[in-house]
Structure 1
Amino acid sequence: MTDVKPLDFSTFHNVINNELTTTSETRHGINPANTQPNPPVPVSTQDDLDKAVKAAQAAFKGWAKTSFEERRKALHAWADAIDSNIDGFAQTLTMEQGKPLTQSSMELGMTTTWIRGLAAIEIPDTVIEETEDRKIVQRHVPIGVVGAIVPWNFPVLLAVGKIVSAVYTGNTIIVKPSPFTPYCDLKLVELATNFFPPGVIQCLSGDESLGPMFTAHPRIEKISFTGSIATGKRVMAACATTLKRVTLELGGNDPAIICDDVDIDVIIPKIGTLSYLCCSQICMMIKRLYVHEKIYDEFLEKLVAFVKTLKVGQGTEADTFFGPVQNEMQYEKAKDLFSSIGTENLKPALGGTIENSSGYFIPPTIIDNPPETSRVVQEEPFAPILPILKWSDEDEVLERANALETGLGSSVWSKDFERATRMADQLQSGCVWVNSHFDLGPNTPFGGHKQSGMGVEWGLTGLLGYCNSQTQWLKKSF
């Protein structure tokens, strides 16, 4: 590995053509645990984006000709360097995102696993026909310049998944972090300059105007976007004007169906964790919990008792599980959703009120058997409020689980594996789990059905989304 100096996590710059640059105007994110300003970051202009696109186009000519092995070697060296700076990244991630240090470290660990895992996937040519006279081959060739629009909930892992998928398949990429969480992404790309040619991986910090510049730019050939359904629709409409390739990973409202034969004491810690990790700000967290009526009362009592043991506090404090939600916008959305507890006469089994604090803290809340039509069931909260609902009939609960326009993930929990898989086969989502939830891997595709997205990230199918299919008809003579 190239001898690389440790990163300085006190200053943050754009990365254009492997040079660290700044802008005449700067802005800063907010530490959600105390609402204090984080360090200044650039506010990129159209001129900055044009320079980055020009550099990416120039770099693409050479990078597209490199071998998978050359790309893999560079990616592995980058992963090693991230590992060497993991403490600085974890501290910075907690500062900007709010999640506890343990969860920041978990995200960083997943990140380097994803780099190495994605770069291990083989992308073969397919020989469709071969005779004495001709050969027909399907190849997968890089698209060109990719724009990556990254969300604020998992800013490291989701940025890296897009970066690796793009450059491993021979593209160049420009990363646009969320304005709420630009810091780690700027440092990831600064670190990448040690291992990749100029223009291959770049990063631009900006305000809300920068995303539309990406989707409108005629020389960005593909957009990979992770974020809300509403914004995803705008991204798709904008990409249509230049017929960009587009991958959309959008919101979810994941149901988990708990059957009456489960071992309650065994699964309660799993369900509690998988409903509230990252303060429930993960698109694939459990967000609707359907529990069989035979075990409902005991399950609810034990889930409440477990969640009460999880500490709420700043992410830098020992043993914290619940940090703040990430930003004021999300905090206000959560408060509005919490107001429906009173207006709809819902019954909190835990929490239910938001107290004033120095940060964007929301107490973990469980709603006892609300109506299916209630907002806490129908809306994706992206905050720690969980409805738990009774069911008795298998066909009916599957219909309820599938009723929404989202379809990202879902799960069934039962000791009867045949029953669980039969139910799982009928769930309408991009990922379905039996006796788990939120299991992910770099070699497995991840995406949504219905309004939860288009296309997938990760796995071979995800990598092919960063390629154009090319069919070659190779005649051996005229």
Structure 2
Amino acid sequence: MSFSNDFLNIIDGKKVSSAISQPVINPSTEDVIASVPNATKEQLDEAIKAASTAFPAWAALPVGKRQHAMVELGQLLQKHLENFVSLLMREGGKTKDLATIEAMQAVAWFCEGGAKQSLPDEVLLDSPERKVIVRYVPVGVCAAITPFNFPLSLMVWKLAPALVTGNVVIVKPSPHAPLTAIKLVELAQQVLPPGVLNILAGDINLGKQLCEHPEIRRISVTGSTAAGKDIMRSAANNLARVTLELGGNDPAIILPDVDPQELAPKLFWATFHNSGQICVALKRIYIHEDVYDAVRDALVAYARTITVGDVSQPGVGVGPVQNRVGFKKVKSFLEDCKKNGYKFALGGEVDHNRKGFFVPITIVDNPPENSMIVQEEPFGPVVPLVKWNDEENVIRRANATVYGLAASVWGKDIKRAEAIAKRIESGTVWINESLIFHWDYPFGGFKHSGIGVEHSKAGLMSWTNTQTMTIHA
């Protein structure tokens, strides 16, 4: 069963267009693959009114019925899985394997995460004189602002807990990758009552209007740190609550006891999956000097086996950067490396005659700690390798950043790796693995990498108000 060819806003269960539209570009070819409407302020008001009207009945449903709706949503997504995979490849520049992983993760988040999580009342005291109950009450009309790099799964990360706790949602997808989000919300109308889930495509102005709207009670955002700050400012007047999952400059620390050949593929995919456009991808890899050359050479050798190209072609392992803005940003990092004379162990040269937003897999060989490529996040297929020889020093360097989203430690001495991991200032620290997520594992950032967490009971609670009820006999 194929999707319809239209990509329209969904308000109160109905498809809605607008006078102004914006193109969506295939990053592999730079061809326009669709147009989506730019929602107006009036349409935003209509969507929020529809959501407000739908909220009381949805919140009053027994949680078991909302959980069942999550299962139905997951099954609907599974039924159309091939369509979602194809769309992710075209709008996101993802390989088929990666697009399939994303779509299947979204299915699981609905069918298992959303279907199993709940916040039952908690009895704190039950005596002859008094009973004290804690209730978790849905917030109301919420905004979900989603990014371009994982436009389907990161939206579902927000929708499953928001809906199962009884909230209603307005989704505002990235203008660079709105198509899969629109199609999921369109399909969801087969399961959800009108107004419970709405979607509005648009630019930064729509996002600002959404965040400033007095009836928006909560805003969940995945995006850059700069965007997160803007959203906090917009939300402040109405004291709308925010959860922000923002940028990162994620360090990996490689201990001297690793096996370079075994490690290389793991480091490669932890760094270059989705062309490095993952908020928790490895952004700077600190390698002990005893194994630096061996790890570098093994990583370069493995990287040479991976083809960068149009994801619709066979044998391609890494696709393009998703949009022109990101493409220009990544190129600025390469230009800075060249200007400062840093050595490339691999890559570094963009083919400007090639159509598509392609950046070669680039590995920068031991640049200075204060270099742009070490201190900032390129969000593309470029990574610096940096030597270390003193444990205290490398921990200090790993933490010497405004970011604190994720980190990893790699080595056979697990006790040493764990001791280092406990001193890293980030919301997630993986040991001998990376990019592992689960609806029961809290996920959030320290410092400028975010506020609050997604997933787990803590993430579920963030979609609710906590109410204490006391009953005097």
2:227 to 231, 236, 240: 231
Q: Say yes or no: does 1:259 pair with 2:255.
A: yes
Count of aligned pairs: 471
1:441 to 435, 438, 443: 438
Q: Say yes or no: does 1:96 pair with 2:74.
A: no
1:468 to 434, 441, 465: 465
Q: CA deviation at 1:358?
A: 0.4
1:299 aligned partner: 295
Q: CA deviation at 1:124?
A: 2.8
Q: Give, in whole Å, the separation in 2 of the partners of 1:203 and 1:196.
A: 13
Residues 211-248 of structure 1, C-alpha deviation per residue, up to 9 Å, x if partnerless? 00111111111110110001110101110011001000
Does the 8 Å CA contact 1:366/1:388 hold for their aligned counterparts?
A: yes
Q: Give, in whole Å, the separation in 2 of the partners of 1:117 and 1:389.
A: 40
Q: If the length of structure 2 is used for normalisation, what is the TM-score?
A: 0.98
2:453 aligned partner: 456
Q: Please list every run of 5 or more consecutive structure 2 residues that lacks an aligned counterpart in the other structure.
A: none
Name the amino acid aligned to 1:168.
Answer: V
Q: If the length of structure 1 is used for normalisation, what is the TM-score?
A: 0.97
2:15 aligned partner: 20
Q: CA deviation at 1:208?
A: 2.4
Does the 8 Å CA contact 1:7/1:191 hold for their aligned counterparts?
A: no
Q: Give, in whole Å, the separation in 1 of the partners of 2:61 and 2:386.
A: 54
Does the 8 Å CA contact 1:18/1:197 hold for their aligned counterparts?
A: yes
1:78 to 62, 73, 98: 73
Name the amino acid aligned to 2:35.
Answer: P
3-state SS, counterpart of residue 209 of structure 1? helix
Greater Cα offset, 371-380 or 457-466: 457-466
Does the 8 Å CA contact 1:411/1:434 hold for their aligned counterparts?
A: yes
3-state SS, counterpart of residue 260 of structure 1? coil
Q: Give, in whole Å, the separation in 2 of the partners of 1:370 and 1:337.
A: 12
Q: Give, in whole Å, the separation in 1 of the partners of 2:334 and 2:15.
A: 43
2:203 to 189, 203, 207: 207
Does the 8 Å CA contact 1:9/1:88 hold for their aligned counterparts?
A: no
3-state SS, counterpart of residue 427 of structure 1? coil
Q: CA deviation at 1:402?
A: 0.6
3-state SS, counterpart of residue 256 of structure 1? strand
Q: CA deviation at 1:414?
A: 1.2
Q: CA deviation at 1:374?
A: 0.4
Q: CA deviation at 1:9?
A: 4.3
Does the 8 Å CA contact 2:118/2:164 hold for their aligned counterparts?
A: no
1:387 to 381, 384, 387: 384
Q: Give, in whole Å, the separation in 2 of the partners of 1:294 and 1:469.
A: 53
* Structure 1 runs (4+) greater than 3 angstroms displaced: none
Q: Give, in whole Å, the separation in 2 of the partners of 1:359 and 1:150.
A: 24
Q: CA deviation at 1:7?
A: 4.7
3-state SS, counterpart of residue 335 of structure 1? helix
Name the amino acid aligned to 1:285.
Answer: A
3-state SS, counterpart of residue 286 of structure 1? coil
2:122 aligned partner: 126
Q: Give, in whole Å, the separation in 2 of the partners of 1:297 and 1:421.
A: 24
Sequence identity (%): 41
Name the amino acid aligned to 1:307.
Answer: A
Name the amino acid aligned to 1:8.
Answer: F
2:180 aligned partner: 184
1:11 to 6, 12, 23: 6
Q: CA deviation at 1:207?
A: 2.2
Residues 98-130 of structure 1, C-alpha deviation per residue, up to 9 Å, x if partnerless? 111211111001111111232212323222222
Q: Give, in whole Å, the separation in 1 of the partners of 2:323 and 2:126.
A: 58
1:30 aligned partner: 25
Name the amino acid aligned to 1:261.
Answer: D
Q: Give, in whole Å, the separation in 1 of the partners of 2:427 and 2:120.
A: 25
Q: Say yes or no: does 1:108 pair with 2:95.
A: no
Name the amino acid aligned to 2:316.
Answer: T
Residues 2-45 of structure 1, C-alpha deviation per residue, up to 9 Å, x if partnerless? xxxx4524211111111111112222111111111121111100
Does the 8 Å CA contact 1:146/1:221 hold for their aligned counterparts?
A: yes
2:61 aligned partner: 66
Does the 8 Å CA contact 1:258/1:291 hold for their aligned counterparts?
A: yes
Q: CA deviation at 1:319?
A: 2.5
Provide the aligned C-alpha RMSD in A. Answer: 0.9
Q: Give, in whole Å, the separation in 2 of the partners of 1:132 and 1:256.
A: 56
Q: Please list every run of 5 or more consecutive structure 1 residues that lacks an aligned counterpart in the other structure.
A: 1-5
Q: CA deviation at 1:162?
A: 0.9
Residues 309-357 of structure 1, C-alpha deviation per residue, up to 9 Å, x if partnerless? 1111111112212111011111111111111112211010000111111
Q: Give, in whole Å, the separation in 1 of the partners of 2:312 and 2:97.
A: 9
3-state SS, counterpart of residue 262 of structure 1? coil
Q: CA deviation at 1:442?
A: 1.4
Q: Give, in whole Å, the separation in 1 of the partners of 2:450 and 2:151.
A: 18
2:132 aligned partner: 136
Q: Give, in whole Å, the separation in 1 of the partners of 2:27 and 2:67.
A: 36
1:50 aligned partner: 45
Q: Give, in whole Å, the separation in 1 of the partners of 2:455 and 2:315.
A: 32
Q: Say yes or no: does 1:404 pair with 2:396.
A: no
3-state SS, counterpart of residue 451 of structure 1? helix
Does the 8 Å CA contact 1:117/1:443 hold for their aligned counterparts?
A: no
3-state SS, counterpart of residue 392 of structure 2? helix
- Give the direction of change, closer, same or farther, for the CA distance of 1:7–1:148 in structure 2 (3 Å limit): farther
- Give the direction of change, closer, same or farther, for the CA distance of 1:469–1:7 in structure 2 (3 Å limit): farther
Q: Say yes or no: does 1:169 pair with 2:154.
A: no
Q: Say yes or no: does 1:371 pair with 2:349.
A: no
Q: Give, in whole Å, the separation in 1 of the partners of 2:28 and 2:45.
A: 36
Aligned counterparts, 1:249-398, within 5 A: 249-356=245-352, 357-398=354-395
